Chains A and B, each alone.
Chain A
Amino acid sequence: GEDVEQSLFLSVREGDSSVINCTYTDSSSTYLYWYKQEPGAGLQLLTYIFSNMDMKQDQRLTVLLNKKDKHLSLRIADTQTGDSAIYFCAESPNTGGFKTIFGAGTRLFVKA
C-alpha cells in the first residue's frame, strides 16, 4: 500500500539541531520532498532529493535518504523560532498515477 509516516510532534530549544524523520512505502518514487506549512498558509517546498542520492545539503537543511529502509530525514541546524511550523514528508511513486502522497506532518515547536 501507499503510506508515508511521520512522528506528530518535536520540541527543541532555539540554537539546537532538529531532526524530523519519515518512512515511506513505495521504492519506485523518483522524488522525495520536504514541505513546510505555517499557520493559515499553503505548503512551502523546502527541499527535495532524487532517489539516486543519499544526502543533500542546502544551507541549514540536510536531507538523508536510506533507500534500503525507506527512511527519509530532515535535519535543521541552528533551529530558530521562525522554524516553528508543520513539516510534511512526501513521495511521488512512479506507479502512483501522477500523485504525490503526504504524511500527516510533524509539528515542530522551538522554545526560546
Chain B
Amino acid sequence: DAGVTQSPTHLIKTRGQHVTLRCSPISGHKSVSWYQQVLGQGPQFIFQYYEKEERGRGNFPDRFSARQFPNYSSELNVNALLLGDSALYLCASSLTGGEGGQPQHFGDGTRLSIL
C-alpha cells in the first residue's frame, strides 16, 4: 500500500511569489495535517483537516491556507513568500483527527527554498 505522498519534492521560489503544495493521504485515512520543519528544529503544526473541514490551526499568518478535497487529498497554499518560509513542509495523515491525537504517518515532505 502506498504511504503518504507529497509533491513536488523540491521547489525554488522567489520572495513575493505564491506556492501550492500537494498531499495524498494513506488510503482510508480521512485526516491530513501540515507541518513546517525549519532546519535543525522539530516540525511545527500548521493545520489539521478532517472530512474537508479545518479542525485546528497553528500560530501561522493568514498567508498560509489549506483545503481538503472529497478524496481526502489536501493542498497547502502560501502567499507572498518570505525568506523565512524556506523549510521542509511535511504532510501527515491519520484515520481520524480526534483532539488528543492519533498516530500520524508522514510523507517525505516538500523542500521549499525561497531566494
Tell me the A residues contacting B by CB distance below 8 Å: 4, 28-31, 33, 35, 40-45, 48, 88, 90-105
Contacts and interface: CB of A to CB of B under 8 A. Distances in A.
Nearest to B40: A104
A41 B108 contact: yes
Contacts of B43: 43, 88, 102
A104 B41 contact: yes
A99 B98 CA distance: 10
B70 interface: no
- Chain A contact residues: helix, strand, loop or mixed: loop
B64 to A, nearest CB: 14
Given A97-B57, A99-B56, A100-B45, A42 B107 contact: yes
Binding site secondary structure of chain B: loop
Sorted nearest first, the 7 A-B pairs with minimum C-beta distance are A92-B101, A98-B56, A102-B42, A30-B100, A99-B45, A94-B100, A42-B106
Interface string B87-108: 0001010000111111111111
A100 B33 contact: yes
A93 B104 contact: no
B109 interface: yes
